[in-house]
């Protein structure tokens, strides 16, 4: 049994994205207390529309990534914005550790459909009058 099974978290962490990226749609951003007991502080927290999704603590780096994707640094404009959470790495206390990285969803390659052939009416023989009147 894994620790995450025994002590489930209401927030996303790096172990949630080890099996692959997660596509999510932001529903709301709130400032709320995060932590336990005396180790509680107000943090920026993202909520998502997807059923059974967890919350995401939005750090300064994550805030900048979402702002770039949303093309706005105002969280009021983030509702409906899609983001992908994936495995990344970050420096923590001088060591490289697994972390959540945020990126924009990739757009499927939409190759332009080949242009329809131009249909021209069939050529008809035209009688040419080569006679030059003098």
Is the residue at 96 inside a domain? yes
With beta carbons less than 8 A apart as the criterion, state whether 102 and 66 touch: yes
Q: Give the per-residue pLDDT at 9.
A: 87
Question: What's the domain range around 67?
Answer: 9-103
Is the residue at 2 inside a domain? no
Is the residue at 119 inside a domain? no
Is the residue at 117 inside a domain? no
Mean pLDDT of 37-41: 90
**Two structure tokens written together for 85:** 């959470």
Number of domains observed in the structure of the chain: 1
Q: 61-65 — which CB contacts under 8 Å span 24+ positions?
A: 61/90, 62/100, 62/102, 65/101, 65/102, 65/103
**Two structure tokens written together for 49:** 């529309």
Is the residue at 129 inside a domain? no
pLDDT digits (tens, 9 = 90+) for 53-111: 999 999 999 999 999 999 999 999 999 999 999 999 999 999 999 999 999 998 765 55
Torsion angle of the four alpha carbons 80, 82, 88, 89, in this order, in degrees rounded to the nearest 10: -30
Is the residue at 78 inside a domain? yes
The Cα–Cα gap between 109 and 5 comes to 38
Is the residue at 57 inside a domain? yes
The Cα–Cα gap between 98 and 24 comes to 20
Burial bucket for residue 56 (CB in 10 Å: 0-12, 13-18, 19+): buried
Is the residue at 49 inside a domain? yes
State pTM to two decimals.
0.75
């Amino acid at each position: 049994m894994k620790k995450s099974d025994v002590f489930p978290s209401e927030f996303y962490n790096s172990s949630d994205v080890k099996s692959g990226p997660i596509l999510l749609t932001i529903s709301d951003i709130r400032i709320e207390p995060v932590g336990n007991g005396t180790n509680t502080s107000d943090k920026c927290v993202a909520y998502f529309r997807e059923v059974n999704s967890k919350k995401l603590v939005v750090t300064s780096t994550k805030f900048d990534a979402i702002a770039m994707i949303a093309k706005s640094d105002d969280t009021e404009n983030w509702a409906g914005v899609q983001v992908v959470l994936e495995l990344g790495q970050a420096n923590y206390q001088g060591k490289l550790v697994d972390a959540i990285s945020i990126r924009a969803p990739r757009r499927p390659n939409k190759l332009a459909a080949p242009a329809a052939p131009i249909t021209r009416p069939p050529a008809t023989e035209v009688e040419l009058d080569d006679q030059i009147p003098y």
